[in-house]
Amino acid sequence: AQKITQTQPGMFVQEKEAVTLDCTYDTSDPSYGLFWYKQPSSGEMIFLIYQGSYDQQNATEGRYSLNFQKARKSANLVISASQLGDSAMYFCAMREGLYSSASKIIFGSGTRLSIRP
Amino acid sequence: GAVVSQHPSWVICKSGTSVKIECRSLDFQATTMFWYRQFPKQSLMLMATSNEGSKATYEQGVEKDKFLINHASLTLSTLTVTSAHPEDSSFYICSAINSGGALETQYFGPGTRLLVL
């Protein structure tokens, strides 16, 4: 079964608009972390934002915010005031068992975001 | 921030040869490293978890005799693709956890593109 689901294979957004990238997850572990990464065409994985399962407030990092709805098991990424440089693949990821030595990050299928000038 | 390097960044080899990819944590110690594979237009798939001083843990469906992993020190893990074939052509990315850092701190290398002719 899919543990991380990203239902939007591709999105087009006008420059300066806000965009929401969807992510739902599935886990029975009470201790987990949720991540968003950006992957430009160069292939490098750029860490954007992190949300821990016990965090009370939604994470924010500059123009990025994570809309964490624990009961719905969703962790959507919101990018405000999109820029042309935001065009890239975006991956949602989860790490279960944060305090376990076997803890590992698994990725969703990704969303390709294209920003129109 | 912490840096993870990979060498080589590109490799082209003939079918049947073996290829070694190095992953180094440059300014931190990493007891755990991860190896991912990414095919074009797809997500990152975890291949194995590499623990310093012990055998790697492979994900289901990954041939351990095909993909040899050695984590001989706290700053170096190697992935050797043995008897490479064209279907092994892919983008290989390593990731390392900073043993002395926050639990959510997992850093990714820039990746290695392998093309098997």
Per-residue pLDDT of A16-64, as tens digits, reads: 999 999 999 999 989 899 999 999 999 999 999 999 999 999 999 999 9
Virtual CA dihedral for B56, B82, B25, B108, nearest 10 degrees? -90
B110 and A33 in contact by Cβ < 8 A?
A: no
Residue A1 pLDDT more than 60? no
Chain B nearest C-alpha distance from A43 (Å): 7
Contact B35, B69 (CB under 8 A): yes
- In one-letter notation, the amino acid at residue A114 is S
Strand, helix or coil at B95? strand
pLDDT tens for each residue of B37-84 = 999 989 999 999 988 888 899 999 999 999 999 988 889 999 999 999
State the pLDDT at residue A100. Answer: 66
Contact A29, A96 (CB under 8 A): yes
Q: Does B46 touch chain A (CB under 8 A)?
A: yes
Cα–Cα dist B79/A26, whole Å = 30
B57 and A110 in contact by Cβ < 8 A?
A: no
B44 and A44 in contact by Cβ < 8 A?
A: no
Cα–Cα dist B35/B99, whole Å = 17
Q: What are residue B33's DSSP bridge partners?
A: B50, B96
Strand, helix or coil at A77? strand
Beta strands in B29-110 (DSSP E): 32-38, 44-51, 57-58, 67-73, 76-81, 90-97, 106-108
Chain B nearest C-alpha distance from A22 (Å): 16
A52 and B108 in contact by Cβ < 8 A?
A: no
**Closest chain A CA to residue B107:** A47
B104 and A52 in contact by Cβ < 8 A?
A: yes
Do the strands A10-14 and A111-116 form a parallel or antiparallel pair, or are they unpaired?
Answer: parallel
**Closest chain A CA to residue B109:** A44
State the pLDDT at residue A2. Answer: 64
Chain A nearest C-alpha distance from B1 (Å): 11
- pLDDT bracket for residue A6 (50, 70, 90): very high
- The whole-number average pLDDT for the span B89-104 is 81
Using a CB-CB distance cutoff of 8 angstroms, which residues of chain A are in contact with residue B95? 45, 105
